[in-house]
Amino acid sequence: MNSNYLITIIGPTAIGKTTLSIKLASYFKTEIISADSRQFYKEMSIGTAVPSKEELAAAPHHFIQHKSIFENYSVGNFEKDALKKLEELFEKNDVVIMVGGSGLYVDAVVKGLDEFPKIDATIRLQLNQTLEKEGISALQDKLKELDPDYASKVDLENPHRLIRALEICIGSGIPYSSFLDNPKKKRPFKTIKVGLTADREIVYDRINQRVDIMIGEGLIEEAETLHKHKELNALQTVGYKELFNFFEGKWDKDFAISEIKKNTRRFAKRQFTWFKKDEAILWFDYEQHIDTILEKIESVLD
């Protein structure tokens, strides 16, 4: 092998990426970098489907619960930290595995972040005031008006992402999406992208089952301990926001659980939208035998 390779495993939530990453790490005798932004935080385990103790012990993992929800940790921070870790890992491994469903975070490592113009800070203040006075729906409607393309891909329930896109749209007068997908930065490694997929009905069924398992494992109790910190950016995520509404008496428990399932399915749909535009991904059915996947990977390696 003449080059260093980053094998990136992507696909919708609950498709089996963790299991495949561990099998590949075992085969190549290497380590795993997580690019799942929800799994960075040590206070959030059940609702983010952090790998089990057995899974974490099966291969060395990095960027799993390494931060606190009280720390500000951006995709730019992750890009810098992940590249530094990869430099270390490639000193002793020809292959490293990266796994995660957060397309933005995967792209940050593989291609580099897109560059945006500097925006007047007052725009963000005004958008935060809009969020406080009119609610998240006002931001959603504004983004659909100014940048329908990005609105179709972004997590519309994440106010941080909405405000970031809107401040670029408003401050530059140009859609946020027009700044995306600039020529990628040169990386000192090659990338092989492996995607797992399944019929949408199968993915949705797996999501519903996973949520039920999370509830059984104590997600409600975990979310209750975090409720007092609900304004933190790390907690603006599916699985927690819905239960916060339950704790506040806005929804009953069964409805909150059904909303977690619905919003997770919507998240999976956005993941499909994000990844399907990438023609470099080698797609496999989620039940595909590991030998077939390895055979294809080996054919690409130098």
Cβ neighbors of 237 (< 8 A, separation 6 or more) are: 38, 44, 47, 48, 158
- Each as own residue / partner, the long-range contacts of residues 254-263 (CB below 8 Å, 24 or more positions apart, any chain) are 257/211, 257/215, 260/211, 261/207, 261/208, 261/211, 263/157, 263/238
Rounded alpha-carbon distances, angstroms, from residue 262 to 101, 201, 204, 242: 17, 13, 9, 11
CA distance 32 to 59: 7
List, in order of start, the domains of the chain with CATH numbers: 5-114+182-300 (3.40.50.300), 121-179 (1.10.20.140)
Pairing of strands 32-34, 95-99: parallel
**What pTM value is reported for the model?**
0.84
> Residue 183: what are its φ and ψ, rounded to 5°?
-50, 135
Report pLDDT for 160.
Answer: 87
For residues 215 and 273, give the distance between their C-alpha atoms in angstroms, rounded to a whole number: 28
d(CA 166, CA 76): 19
pLDDT tens for 234-267 read 998 999 999 999 999 999 999 999 999 999 999 9
pLDDT tens figures, 203-237: 999 999 999 999 999 999 999 999 999 989 899 89
**How confident is the model over 25-35, as pLDDT tens digits?**
999 999 999 99
pLDDT < 70 positions in the chain: 1, 181
Separation CA 268–CA 266 (nearest Å) = 5
